[in-house]
A and B are shown apart, each in its own frame.
Chain A
Amino acid sequence: MLIALKKELELRAMELKDETIETIYFGGGTPSILETEEIESLIDLVYENFEVRSTPEITVEANPDDLSSEVLKALASSKVNRLSIGIQSFFENDLKLMNRAHNALEAKECIEESKRFFNNISIDLIYGIPGASNEQWQENIQIALDYEVPHISCYALTVEPKTALESFIKKGLVEPVNDDGAHEQFLLLKDILEERGFVHYELSNFGMEGYFSKNNTAYWQGKSYLGIGPSAHSFNGQQRSWNVRNNSKYIKALEQDQLPSEIETLTKVDRYNEYVMTRLRTKWGISLNYIKKEFGELYLQYLMDQAHSFIEGHLLFHDKDQLYVSKKGLFLSDGIASQLFKLNL
């Protein structure tokens, strides 16, 4: 696999030849598969093949059970400068329900240990968990705040098909996910974190000033990215491509110097839709000037026509150049985006 990853990186070096690499991101579970030396060798390869800025953000995403002291120490001595840790919850009952490999104690110890080596740390928390009270959720937030991590990502629990949780809910052993409850916890979270100086810069992301995820922000701002590995997605501003999911097919293709990917070219409508969809989730909102400049007067007119009833209903608000989702509209932003969409003919 490592050979294949390196091969893909080299084969695709040309794709970003006019760009400077700003961030490097190792996705979920990487440290449990690759040794730190292997991660380092991949970073080195990026430096060899691409133009990299002087202080890039280099993140490793990991679960607490992957981050032993040794691993943390090794990572800290590499170019890696940011950790994103899948804590999920500091409560045993939540972690069991979600079938996580770590327990509450490990979650806490992991953060403490990480803080010895890293300053730029993000943790993930999950809300809207069946059976978890608002009080417990507030306590979860409080624990995170006590650790003084500068970035918190919080996701509403979704029940994925064919998981243990789904079958528990079907059997009536666990109460189903409740949107009203999730919404309440989301608002609690937003209020508490904002009071503590966090910026709610994307629907699920809160960061202290200077600690927003540069890598993820790039996705929402339509920047180019190159995804390496099975099922990784890439984007160059006009086209999106994605690699096969299957590991052995991926490796086999690269053994034959072939890229195992599919490409779609975005139409103007697609690009407009993606802009609307991603921007609505962020604090930056939709820039009307950008719409006009990039897509033209007719698109702007269409957008404002569609937005009209949402503005009246206080789900969107319009401030000079910007169109934002209001606090009331945040939890509805997909539905709103869909209504602002244009359809390809």
Chain B
Amino acid sequence: MKHIRNFCIIAHIDHGKSTLADRLLDYTGSVTDREKQDQLLDNMDLERERGITIKSHAIQMEYEYEGQEYVLNLIDTPGHVDFSYEVSRSIAACEGALLIVDAAQSIQAQTISNLYLALENDLEIIPVLNKIDLPSANPEEVTDDIVDLLGCDPDEVIPASGKTGLGVEDILAAIIERIPAPEGKPDEPLQALIFDSVYNPFRGVETYFRVINGSIRKGQHIKFIATGKDYYADEVGTLKLNQVPKSRIEAGDVGYLITGIKDAREVKVGDTITDAKNPTTEAIEGFEDVKPMVFAGIYPVDTEDYEELRNSMEKLQLNDASLVFQPESSAALGFGFRCGFLGMLHLEIIQERLEREFDMTVITTVPNVSYHAFTNKQPDDVILVNNPSDLPEPSTLNRVEEPYIKASIITKADFVGPVMSLCIEKRGQITNQTYLTTERVELNFDMPLAEIVFDFYDRLKTVSKGYASFDYSPIGMRSSKLVRVDILLNAQTVDALSALIHADNAYTIGKKMCEKLRELIPRQQFDIPIQAAIGAKIISRETIKALRKDVTAKCYGGDISRKRKLLEKQKKGKKRMRQVGNVEIPQQAFMAVLKLND
């Protein structure tokens, strides 16, 4: 145990975490040349393309330092606020963290919130100043920022470059010298923390864990404390680039476990593994059942594909336990599913994975957060509102509560004004403003989560010219004035276009929705009135003018074939649209509300 080091990496998106991790693997000989590919840890296509880590990963390196063999377990954490619970569990599995800061961009909001998490868990922080080879690097100033933030000595900051490999040796030395070895009791009953799981279609769910006390051995009868289920450890091992089966994983070390579990929902991140016969008396602290934050309907483009969509969603859920869904139906879209996501990125990922891995094209409806509604009849009973149609009639409604978050935004001093205006527009209340340096300001707001769902990230980027970073954590429910804005096309309500909106914004958003739909819905052979309404009250109206001309002048012998093919193509395009009454609605119109400011 003395020669094990467990560490994670804290970094903002694009600060070079994955590239630097590749360098560490490379330098310690953990990958052969043949296995090398850029960003080894991000092995989902989506992760490589977007340059962010979605899943946690773990990899073990062996490294000889001053004549002694060390085992270094790197636990890579997801790089997005949607996955902050997973980050917290990865951090809990480590004794130290590399804090990677881009020498040009300095510290960002997300880095800070993860850093605080690491500090709360008493992790030893090793600051690394990355990308110092960039012409735009500003090492002195950013080092000062880091020193301010950590209260460390400037000499402790290691200059590095993932690109050139500079500093890698110093980082490895610091990991060994500064990060404490794990302290576990090998003779106590097994107590291991699950920090991630991966679905393998052939072997079932692979559980990644860190042994805190005791040890886990092949064949052992084990139990997961939170779920109460017991299994036999068919295989345990360590995580090199490939899995290496072992007979036993000792206290302090990191490994994987295979038990033949087929459903990812049985393996909960943060759960404790213990021995079935001789269990530990204590579960590891910090376990939470992850709750979805954002809900949206997902429907097949072709109504006939409903069963196929169900199969695909079930398969996705096998390897992404944070996805929840239940069947729902819509007059406009037919049969589909109400799905719960960790956040907007998670929603996008699910949508993309459905398309890429399952070849399903889907319509996603306007997302909303989960509200609590109370009726006059039963003012103490919570009605969960995950869908606009769940909101009780205004006359019977006693009150509504909505989820709030604590938002942390770090930006340049120049942009404090526009960022504040944006947050106030989004119903935020400022709670704190701290100058981290003379140039960099941290702003804290209490804000409704619902406001983050609608175009917040994009607008924050715009108003700050890209110089703002953002993170949030939930702070509970607060009372709200909520209304349902319905959209009527040709005087018919289109249920899939309804949205839950704060009463103060209903008029503005209703108007913008009508305008946006006028752009997105193609002109048809008749005028189409678009109306936004709250209950029976129309709050906005637009009209899509009828097509005037939809015919080509000439149709002679040589034109017929080409023209037929063109009209067939049009017909096919229409088949992908949804018909409500006699109005054809293209797919993207159902997500229109998200892009009201484009």
Contacts and interface: CB of A to CB of B under 8 A. Distances in A.
B525 A315 contact: yes
Interface string A213-247: 00010011000010100011111000010100000
B570 A179 contact: no
Contacts of A183: 548-549
Interface residues of B, number: 26
Interface string B558-579: 1011011001101110110000
B551 A332 contact: yes
A74 to B, nearest CB: 26
Contact of A309 (B548, B551, B556, B582): B582
B560 A332 contact: no
Interface in B406-423: none
Nearest to A182: B549
Contact of B571 (A231, A329, A338): A338
B561 to A, nearest CB: 5
Interface residues of A, number: 47
B571 A333 contact: no
Nearest to A264: B561
B549 A233 contact: no
Contacts of A274: 560, 564
Contacts of B564: 270, 273-274, 277
A57 interface: no
Interface string B516-527: 000000000110
Contacts of A231: 558
A278 interface: yes
Given A264-B561, A274-B564, A332 B547 contact: yes
Contacts of A204: 553-554
Most B C-beta atoms less than 10 A away, residue of A183, A204, A331, A338: A338
A106 interface: no
B314 to A, nearest CB: 29
B286 interface: no
Contact of B547 (A227, A310, A335, A339): A335
A337 B555 CA distance: 13
Nearest to A213: B556
Contact of A331 (B550, B554, B556, B563): B550
A273 B568 CA distance: 8
B135 interface: no
Interface string A305-343: 000011001010000000000000111111111110101
B594 to A, nearest CB: 30
Most A C-beta atoms less than 10 A away, residue of B526, B555, B571, B582: B555
A278 B549 contact: no
A343 B575 contact: yes
A158 interface: yes
B548 A341 contact: no
B305 to A, nearest CB: 16
A315 B551 CA distance: 14
Contacts of B560: 219, 233, 235, 240, 274, 277-278
Contacts of B136: none
A114 to B, nearest CB: 22
B68 interface: no
A158 B525 CA distance: 20
A155 interface: yes
A277 B567 contact: yes
B550 A334 contact: yes
Nearest to B547: A332
Nearest to A128: B549
B438 interface: no
Contacts of B547: 179, 332, 335
A231 B552 CA distance: 20
A330 B552 CA distance: 11
B558 A227 contact: yes
A220 B555 contact: yes
Given A182-B549, A273-B568, A219 B557 contact: yes
A219 B548 contact: no
Given A334-B567, A337-B567, A343 B572 contact: yes
Given A235-B557, A277-B560, A334 B568 contact: no
Contacts of A264: 561
B548 A203 contact: no
Majority secondary structure of chain B interface residues (helix, strand, loop or mixed):
loop
A203 B553 contact: yes
A106 B554 CA distance: 25
Contact of B553 (A158, A315, A338): A158
B561 A240 contact: yes
B557 A233 contact: yes
Contacts of A220: 555
B554 A155 contact: yes
A301 B189 CA distance: 74
A179 B548 CA distance: 6
Given A273-B567, A313-B525, A332-B525, A225 B548 contact: no
A334 B556 contact: no
A281 B555 contact: yes
B568 A341 contact: yes
Given A274-B564, A343-B572, A180 B550 contact: no
Nearest to B563: A277
A334 B571 contact: no
A155 B553 contact: yes
Contacts of B567: 273, 277, 334, 337-338, 341
Given A240-B561, A338-B567, A203 B582 contact: no
Contacts of B558: 227, 231-233, 242
A234 B557 CA distance: 7
A156 interface: yes
Given A310-B525, A338-B567, A242 B561 contact: yes
A69 B442 CA distance: 88
A338 B555 CA distance: 15
Contact of A227 (B550, B552, B555, B557): B557
Interface string A160-198: 000000000000000000011011000000000000000
Nearest to A274: B564
A227 B571 CA distance: 29
Contacts of A344: 568
B549 to A, nearest CB: 4
A101 to B, nearest CB: 20
A208 B571 CA distance: 36
Interface in A263-313: 264, 270, 273-274, 277-278, 281, 309-310, 313
A219 B561 CA distance: 11
Nearest to A273: B564
Most A C-beta atoms less than 10 A away, residue of B549, B568, B571: B549
Interface in B482-528: 525-526
Contacts of A281: 551, 555
A81 to B, nearest CB: 20
A129 B572 CA distance: 32
Given A219-B560, A270-B564, A343 B554 contact: no
A172 to B, nearest CB: 22
Given A233-B557, A274-B560, A331 B568 contact: no
Contacts of B555: 202-203, 219-220, 277-278, 281
Contact of B525 (A202, A277, A335): A335
Interface of B: 525-526, 547-558, 560-561, 563-564, 567-568, 570-572, 574-575, 582
15 contacts: A219-B556, A219-B560, A233-B561, A234-B557, A274-B560, A278-B560, A281-B551, A281-B555, A330-B551, A332-B547, A334-B552, A338-B568, A338-B574, A341-B567, A341-B568
Closest 3 CB pairs of A and B: A155-B553, A335-B550, A179-B548
Given A203-B551, A232-B558, 17 more contacts: A155-B554, A158-B553, A203-B555, A219-B560, A233-B558, A277-B560, A278-B555, A313-B582, A315-B525, A331-B548, A332-B549, A334-B552, A335-B525, A335-B551, A336-B550, A338-B570, A343-B571
